[in-house]
């Protein structure tokens, strides 16, 4: 059982209260706990909520309006923080919630308007390989890639003027690199609102909704970003001859059909229907004709500064090793800039 306070201590608490000492001062002088002091004062009819505004109250309010930090004011006036809140409540002043200071930051308006190569490319890349969540106050953008492409995620962080870390995570299929852009990021909100990239986008991505916000002159960067995320160039042997093939796809047929038609019109590739891959349950656009590969390569990479170098190099290496050709010179792309990764 707790020890009963000696009458001498009780009298000391009452005397200090009558001498206008604060609860905190009484606690320091007597060693009696906060709860016990309130109980003693209540029993002695000395504890009551003040309804008058004192000179100290006015000073507290004056300081609070200069710096709305109750914790600092409590230290300054040597009172409990509840005293500060009681003063504010008594004078009907609504406490100001201090803005949270976030350790990680970025250009939150980066995707508000798609008007550069960088923005168009990353919209395409996130459409393929990103994940957005925007539920109430929680907002998050996540991109996961093979650990081999860790530098590409670091490039994204630089482009959005951020300081978010690129972390390595382990999954069953192997090591991945991930970057998460979270509260209070507007990035996820803009991607969800303007480009339909909610957490169900795998099955709902809408070509018309996405490209409506991308200028025509930036569409090829968007498509390159998408294909860097979900597309590939790879070599195969057919009838004893090596060739290189382009393939990209997703689970939404309408999206792939419209992308296919766009590439036929703008890149000039041969007309061909999209195909359904039953084993992987997705719709794909594929080309293997050499003229189509060269047209796609030129369309994607000419005067382009952002791309996954290893994917571009698959085409360059095939032409160099199998055909003894420099595809960049052949397509007059020798002055194309090098990706900064």
67-85 pLDDT, tens digit per residue, is: 778 888 888 888 888 888 8
Q: Is 147 among the domain residues?
A: yes
For CA atoms 161, 204, 145, 132, give the dihedral sign.
positive
Q: What is d(CA 30, CA 291) in angstroms, rounded to the nearest whole number?
A: 92
Within a domain: 2: no
Question: How many CB atoms sit inside 10 A of residue 143's CB?
Answer: 24
Are 224 and 324 in the same domain? Answer: yes
Report the distance separating Cα 132 and Cα 142, nearest Å.
6
Question: Are residues 163 and 171 in contact, defined by beta-carbon separation less than 8 angstroms?
Answer: no
- Regarding whether 332 and 224 lie in a shared domain, the answer is yes
The structural domain count of the chain equals 3
Residue with token string 């923080």: 81
Mean pLDDT of the chain, nearest integer: 83
> DSSP letter at 323?
S
Q: Of the residues 179, 202, 225, which one is the last residue of a structural domain? A: 202
Q: Which CATH number fits the domain that encloses residue 248?
A: 3.10.28.10
Are 128 and 152 in contact by the 8 Å Cβ rule? The answer is no
142: its two tokens? 């996540």
pLDDT tens readout for residues 16-62: 877 777 777 788 888 888 778 777 777 776 655 555 667 788 888 88
8-state DSSP, 113: S
| Same domain? 62 vs 136 | no
CA torsion, ordered 284, 288, 290, 296, to nearest 10 deg? 20
Residues 108 and 73 in one domain: no
Same domain, 195 and 228: no
| Residue 142, φ and ψ in degrees, nearest 5 | -125, 135
Whether residue 302 sits in one domain with residue 326: yes
- Angle at which helix 7-18 crosses helix 23-30, to 10 degrees, equals 140
Same domain assignment for residues 229 and 330: yes
The verdict on 220 and 325 lying in the same domain is yes
Of 69, 90, 111, which residue constitutes the final position of a domain? 90
Question: What is the span of the domain harbouring residue 234?
Answer: 215-341
Distance CA 290, CA 327 (A): 11
- Residue 209 counted as domain residue: no
46 in a structural domain: yes
Task: Specify the pLDDT at position 55.
Answer: 77
Any domain includes 179:
yes
In a domain, 155, yes or no: yes
Q: What is the pLDDT along the chain (341 residues), one digit of tens a residue?
A: 456 677 888 888 778 877 777 777 788 888 888 778 777 777 776 655 555 667 788 888 888 877 778 888 888 888 888 888 888 888 878 776 655 556 788 898 999 999 999 999 999 999 998 888 766 666 788 898 989 999 999 999 999 999 889 998 887 777 888 888 876 567 888 888 888 777 677 788 889 998 899 999 999 999 999 999 999 998 887 665 788 999 999 889 999 999 999 999 999 999 999 998 877 788 989 999 999 999 999 999 998 999 999 999 999 999 999 888 889 888 876 444 444 44
Whether 229 and 335 map to the same domain: the answer is yes
Same domain, 116 and 178: yes
**Among the three residues 90, 123, 147, which one is the final residue of a domain in this structure?**
90
**Total count of residues recorded for the chain:** 341
131 beta partners: 142
The reply to whether 127 and 197 lie within a common domain is: yes
Same domain, 150 and 249: no
User: Is 64 within the bounds of a domain?
Assistant: yes
- Whether 208 maps to a domain, the answer reads no
């Amino acid at each position: 059982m707790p020890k009963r306070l000696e009458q001498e201590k009780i009298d000391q608490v009452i005397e200090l209260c009558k001498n206008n000492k604060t609860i905190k001062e009484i606690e320091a002088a007597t060693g009696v706990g906060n709860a016990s002091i309130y109980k003693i004062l209540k029993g002695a009819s000395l504890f009551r909520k003040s309804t008058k505004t004192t000179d100290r109250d006015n000073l507290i309010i004056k300081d609070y309006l200069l710096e709305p930090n109750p914790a600092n004011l409590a230290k300054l006036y040597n009172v409990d923080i509840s005293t500060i809140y009681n003063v504010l409540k008594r004078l009907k002043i609504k406490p100001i919630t201090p803005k949270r200071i976030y350790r990680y930051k970025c250009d939150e308006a980066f995707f508000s308007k798609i008007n550069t190569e960088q923005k168009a490319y990353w919209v395409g890349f996130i459409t393929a390989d990103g994940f957005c969540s925007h539920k109430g106050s929680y907002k998050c953008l996540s991109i996961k890639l093979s650990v081999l492409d860790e530098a590409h995620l670091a490039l994204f962080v630089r482009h959005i003027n951020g300081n978010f870390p690129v972390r390595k995570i382990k999954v069953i299929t192997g090591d991945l690199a991930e970057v998460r852009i979270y509260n209070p990021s507007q990035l996820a909100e803009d991607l969800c609102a303007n480009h339909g990239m909610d957490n169900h986008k795998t099955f709902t991505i809408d070509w018309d909704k996405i490209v409506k916000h991308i200028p025509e002159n930036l569409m090829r960067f968007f498509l390159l970003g998408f294909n860097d995320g979900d597309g590939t160039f790879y070599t195969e042997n057919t009838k004893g001859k090596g060739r290189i093939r382009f393939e990209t796809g997703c689970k939404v047929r309408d999206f792939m059909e419209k992308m296919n038609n766009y590439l036929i019109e703008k890149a000039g590739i041969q007309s061909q229907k999209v195909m359904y891959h039953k084993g992987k349950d997705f719709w794909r656009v594929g080309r293997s004709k050499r003229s189509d590969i060269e047209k796609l390569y030129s369309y994607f990479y000419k005067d382009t500064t952002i791309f996954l170098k290893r994917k571009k190099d698959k085409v360059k290496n095939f032409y160099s090793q199998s055909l003894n050709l420099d595809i960049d010179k052949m397509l007059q792309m020798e002055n194309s800039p090098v990706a900064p990764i």
